[in-house]
Amino acid sequence: MRHDLRLLPPDALIKTGPVDEADWNFRPVLGAIQRQRFHLIVKLLGDDRFRRLLEVGYGSGVFLTELQRHCEELYGIDPHPMPKQVEEVLATRGVTARLFSGEAAAMPFTDGFFDCVVAVSSLEFIPDLDAACSEISRILTPGGVFVVVTPGTSAIVDFGLKVLTGNRAKDDFGNRRQRVLPTLLRHFAVQQRLTFPSFAGSLVRFYTALRLTQRPGSPAA
């Protein structure tokens, strides 16, 4: 994995909502674990450079500084009402991003607009994930890719979250985490799968990352 990951620094982060915990990426121990999500995404993107890339759930924009390296035009969508403020912060760091306030289940983009969509630990917060997956498939070009990372669901991982952050996973996610992977597999075909740790079973798996594409016969495929 590469070690020159480019993230928006802590002093530039805007708190955009109660579940925006971008500062966790810079805490001792917890930060090292959190940043593995971004390394997994970068590995799945590989050397590809896309014309238009969208991050679903960009939050404070912490990962957009890295995603700019992988595309010509960078976009983001998130339910929070602060896209302009995040755009301004990114601009001070030389990052041009077109950010929107909206839901993943009803996005303001035309069919086939993006050739890459990225979601980092955001799908588990979406109430209607089937609708969001249909929207993502719709806005992807034929052959476009959807790269996603989602957290594990074991009691051991949840205990670690409680120890390191004081947060209870059930309070943050409800039961939505368990539905993420089965829903994704109904809508998309898997091109590549990575986990962290790579050697661990589901009981101690922090993250699963997937590079997906539309299934044959889907509207955009």
Q: Position of tokens 């969509």?
A: 117
In sequence order, the β-bridge partners of residue 78 are: 101
pLDDT value at 58 more than 80: yes
Whether the Cβ atoms of residue 12 and residue 88 lie closer than 8 Å to each other: no
Whether the Cβ atoms of residue 100 and residue 77 lie closer than 8 Å to each other: yes
What's the confidence (pLDDT) of residue 198? 83
Q: Dump pLDDT digits (tens) for 156-173.
A: 555 455 555 666 555 555
- DSSP codes joined into one string, 36-69: HHHHHHHHHHTT--EEEEEEET-TT-TTHHHHGG
Average pLDDT over residues 74-96: 97
Average pLDDT over residues 73-85: 98
pLDDT value at 174 more than 60: no
What residue ranges define each of the domains in the chain, with the CATH number in brackets? Answer: 10-214 (3.40.50.150)
Q: Which two tokens stand for residue 42?
A: 């970068």
What's the confidence (pLDDT) of residue 204? 73
Which residues 6+ apart lie within 8 Å of 107 measured at CB? 77, 100, 135, 139
Question: Is the pTM of the predicted complex or chain greater than 0.75?
Answer: yes
Q: Dump pLDDT digits (tens) for 109-167.
A: 999 999 999 999 999 999 999 999 999 999 999 999 999 999 877 665 554 555 556 66
Q: Position of tokens 């991050």?
A: 55
What's the confidence (pLDDT) of residue 2? 46
pLDDT classification of 26: cutoffs 50, 70, 90: very high
Q: What percent of the chain has pLDDT over 70?
A: 84
